[in-house]
Structure 1
Amino acid sequence: MIEVNSAKPRFSGVLLHPTSLPGKRTCGGFGQEARDWLELLAKSGISVWQVLPLSPPDSTGSPYSSPSSFAFNPWLLDVNDLAQQGFIAMDVCNELSSSKQDINSSMDFDLANLHSRKLGQALRKEWPIQNSSSHKEFLDWCADQFWLEDHVMFMELRIQNNQLPWWEWPEDLALHNKKELNNFKVNFKEALLEHSLLQWHLDRQWSSIRSLANDLGILIFGDLPFYVSRDSADVWSNRSLFSILANGEMYMQSGVPPDYFSETGQLWGTPVYRWQSNKRSHFRWWRRRLSRQWNQFDLLRLDHFRALDSFWAVPGNDKTAQDGSWIPSPGLKLLKLLKKDYGQKLPLIAEDLGVITPRVEKLRNYFGLPGMKILQFAFDGNQENPYLPENIRDYRSIVYTGTHDNETTTGWWAEVGPEIKSRLRKQSNQENDSPAWQLIELGLQTQACLFIAPMQDILGLGNEARFNTPGTVKRSNWSWRLEAFNDSVLAGVEKYGQLSKSYGRSFAEVSTLIG
């Protein structure tokens, strides 16, 4: 029996990326489907909506390898709202709101990019006839976005250079030469306006979603990758902050060392930070990055938190992560500055999975940051396993059945051996035959402040609905989405809300998670 401290409020949430929302376009977005989703969560008594990074994805659809740490993904912009507000013509809306694609096929990322290009062109075409108040709002917003100019130039330069990485552009542009970039701004003024309008409207629409969530009493929980893509506006325009040479070559790259699961470690291929340069600027880029995130979310998961204590640095030309070394990070100083900027308890969640040292735990606990627990990792037979429900004694924990990188629980169940199945059955002692719901109920019973279930587990889906398989570039990665808010979805979310309430997880007082 799991003992729970009922004096402290506990909550539940759902992990569902906005691209997975239903709709008539190539993916879900910031329109009516997001509003309907929030209403469903509120009606069911579920307090938290967790999403993945909302930044533009890479060519494989991954939001964790983005060309910009500050921009929104243009795929998420809702065309119906734009048409109703008079920002685009209705015929453009009808063209881009194509018939529903086969939910069993992979999302067409190329088509999503094409639609975004067409939408930017339509917004620019209609811009001269917009009223003066819209023009003023747009100009004021642009003036406040320090990152915007580099972002829009970077995105257009990629188009002009056939999507080549920035180190393969003409030299003056690759080197961020101010004179050449000023010429570029003049020559491609209209195209740059398209990118800026897309970002402004995305910002407006997401602000509206956040406002509705706040009115409904729901927190939005975001996600921030630790490292940024080598081929990004961030690295291109801030080269001194990263382990990268003028020609784009990395002299140090990120990863993790060999372990039980990988003889050669994991090589991520992103530049590590030049922490001395970041320190000299008083971590200005990092602080701006977090400030931008906190304008978008109530809670934020910091991926690979352990790198704030020390990080695994691998020589830039290596093909495996074997010959790296641990290098200390100034995470304590950075987090102190972030806390000063924020003004109260940091609304951060530490992704602390894997092998975590006492120093990392000390850093996490110093700032009172919750860590993560994954129930799929719990049933190896070790009674001291920190992921076993009865061993999750720290209220400052976020418990999951699995994350976006794990198999769905139904898919996991199909792959594990009889010993693990036997342990889960014995542990759960539930009448429910679904392994996904058995894990959900175990998670809801823990004394962790927050339990999160991926939507795929609420629906009991198998690995055909897995969102991402790390270390692969499958076309199915990042492409799963709901077909509709059908009876199965409505019933599943309602059941989850009822169970949350029965296990003492409240819909009220959710602000205590960030207070």
Structure 2
Amino acid sequence: MDAWVNEEGEMGSWERSSGVLLHPTSLPGPDGVGSLGRYARRWVDRLEEAGQRWWQVLPLNPPGHGGSPYSASSAFAGNAMLIDLEALVEAGWLASSELKVYRALCARGQSERFDVDVIGEAKGELLELAYRGWRGGGGESGVGYQKFVQGASGWLEDYALYTALKERHEGRSWQAWPAPLVRRDPEAVEEAQRGLSARMERVRFEQWVFSEQWKTLKAYAAERGVCVLGDVPIFVAMDSAEVWASRDLFELGADGAPEAVAGVPPDYFSETGQRWGNPLYDWGRMAERGYDWWVGRVRQVMTMVDALRIDHFRGFESYWRIPADAPTAVDGRWVKGPGGAVFKAIEEALGEVPMVAEDLGIITEKVRALRDELGLMGMRVMQFGFEGEEDHPFLPHTYPRHCAAYTGTHDNDTTQGWYESLDELGKHGVRTYVSHADEGIVWAMIEMLWASKADLVVVPVQDLFELGSQARMNVPGVAEDNWNWRMSEAMLEDEPVYERLGRLTRECRRRGKGK
């Protein structure tokens, strides 16, 4: 699909477009973690000035252990840690003095990386204060809030109860809760709802605020011709509201334990593969229900973004099934997935949804055939192109028009860090291909990417500033110190970098929306 019509009746297109990958948590600001406030708006301004059509983000859901947005506690809810605190002060729900104290705490720990747990706990306390302020003013009776709660009831009530119960049980996974709650016995669920009604309301409040703030930011971006490219992981976390609430849709035993888990076999990123640990879908049961869960999931995500990247697309053709008791992914096996049936159900319910298929890793002809049958763009990652073949399909001169091309993704090292990690022979190959010396090699690669035939080209923000490995977003297979990198305010205000990107975009005849 090269073009589409969105819900507002506006035409959208991938054709000769470009963008930057930056997750909102990585935005600068005084609140310890990026938010949806003035720094996000400033970022949108920068994208507009540089002629970029796309702001690519990672999943916007509440992150799980270690801050990973790919192991979220809900596939439907938004990340409340992104809520802009200044807006809560302006609304009269949070005292400016309380925000000042919090910012003093953040300033003491200011660095290129934030502590997910420390910031999460401290910001959570401020959200509790804001909730009390809102509640004290009768906010729960507001029309906007009530409309949101009613519209989101299909997922919000399960998420609110799950979150409240998880707090009551000191953060333990739902599998470790009392058996009646694990089984979701009606009496146990009703008793929990009564006893935790106040905590559940706070969760609803946070989700409403997130939704309103994100809608405001997205509208701000749309006015400036900037579209949001979102991300949907194929699998969901074991410890999530959806798995607890819809156990019949997953391959789980009577005790709630998984029979097998998801992952990928050994590849470029890991010699033992990646044992993600996500529960596997009961695709037979999903099919019986017309894939309504997936339709609902995509419907919800599309309220927040303009297009989607489907992470691990190959899992729809075949997925790597790992025995639950296996310590690594080595002993897994390929199992046939649902194919295009999920996407056809989505299209029948929602119309055409613009998607990019993340088709990296071990890709077979059957995976390519499914991608092409669905008319989806695949991905090319330039860093992977320097692996021996002169005409490697990930080198820019080989790109087809119908693809999305990147210098690297959130799972790659930064391009500067990647280049520095190569041996001298590898560096020589890169220098020869891009006809450039060591200094400025990253921008030379960006220029080749932008000049390629690929309809969509995207660069991680770290590469715009030629940052090294210390700015890497994620190291697959490593549990600690990921997902917490932040750009500095100086980077946000580095005029020459955005001017350079804008010139390159014009020279390569790429353009923002309507330009």
- The CA deviation at 1:95 is 3.1
SS of structure 1 residue aligned to 2:286: helix
Given the alignment of the two structures, is residue 10 of structure 1 paired with residue 21 of structure 2, yes or no?
A: no
Quick check: 1:124–1:190 contact (8 Å CA) kept in 2?
Answer: no
2:120 corresponding residue in structure 1:
113
Paired letter, 2:394: Y
Gaps (5+ residues) in structure 1? 1-7, 511-515
For 1:259 and 1:487, the matched residues in 2 are separated by 35
1:484 corresponding residue in structure 2:
489
For 2:131 and 2:432, the matched residues in 1 are separated by 61
Given the alignment of the two structures, is residue 191 of structure 1 paired with residue 199 of structure 2, yes or no?
A: yes
- More off after superposition, 254-263 vs 115-124: 254-263
> Of residues 52, 56, 77 in structure 1, which corresponds to 2:83?
77
For 1:407 and 1:370, the matched residues in 2 are separated by 23
For 1:296 and 1:250, the matched residues in 2 are separated by 31
- The CA deviation at 1:482 is 1.5
Query: How many percent identity over aligned positions?
Result: 35
2:70 corresponding residue in structure 1:
64
- The CA deviation at 1:463 is 0.5
Given the alignment of the two structures, is residue 443 of structure 1 paired with residue 454 of structure 2, yes or no?
A: no
- The CA deviation at 1:164 is 0.7
Quickly say closer, same or farther: Cα 1:110–1:258, change in 2 above 3 A: closer
SS of structure 2 residue aligned to 1:97: helix
- The CA deviation at 1:456 is 0.7
Cα distance per residue 1:404-459 (max 9 Å; x no partner): 11111111111112222222222212478312111101100111111111111100
> Of residues 417, 420, 435 in structure 2, which corresponds to 1:411?
417
For 1:132 and 1:24, the matched residues in 2 are separated by 27
For 2:80 and 2:210, the matched residues in 1 are separated by 7
When normalised by structure 1's length, the TM-score is 0.93
- The CA deviation at 1:336 is 0.7
Quickly say closer, same or farther: Cα 1:136–1:355, change in 2 above 3 A: same
- The CA deviation at 1:101 is 5.0
* 1:10-159 alignment runs, 5 A limit: 10-98=16-104, 99-100=106-107, 103-104=110-111, 106-130=113-137, 135-145=142-152, 146-159=154-167
Paired letter, 2:420: A
1:3 corresponding residue in structure 2:
none
1:293 corresponding residue in structure 2:
301
For 2:220 and 2:272, the matched residues in 1 are separated by 47
> Of residues 354, 369, 392 in structure 2, which corresponds to 1:362?
369
When normalised by structure 2's length, the TM-score is 0.93
Quick check: 1:120–1:197 contact (8 Å CA) kept in 2?
Answer: no
For 1:265 and 1:247, the matched residues in 2 are separated by 28
Quick check: 1:161–1:169 contact (8 Å CA) kept in 2?
Answer: yes
Quick check: 1:66–1:228 contact (8 Å CA) kept in 2?
Answer: yes
Quick check: 1:375–1:402 contact (8 Å CA) kept in 2?
Answer: yes
2:7 corresponding residue in structure 1:
none
1:204 corresponding residue in structure 2:
212
Cα distance per residue 1:190-236 (max 9 Å; x no partner): 11111110110000000001111111111101111111111111100
For 1:278 and 1:88, the matched residues in 2 are separated by 44
Tell me the matched-pair count: 500
For 1:263 and 1:94, the matched residues in 2 are separated by 47
Paired letter, 1:239: R
1:268 corresponding residue in structure 2:
276
Quick check: 1:26–1:111 contact (8 Å CA) kept in 2?
Answer: no
1:499 corresponding residue in structure 2:
504
* 1:225-304 alignment runs, 5 A limit: 225-259=233-267, 262=270, 264-304=272-312
Gaps (5+ residues) in structure 2? 1-13
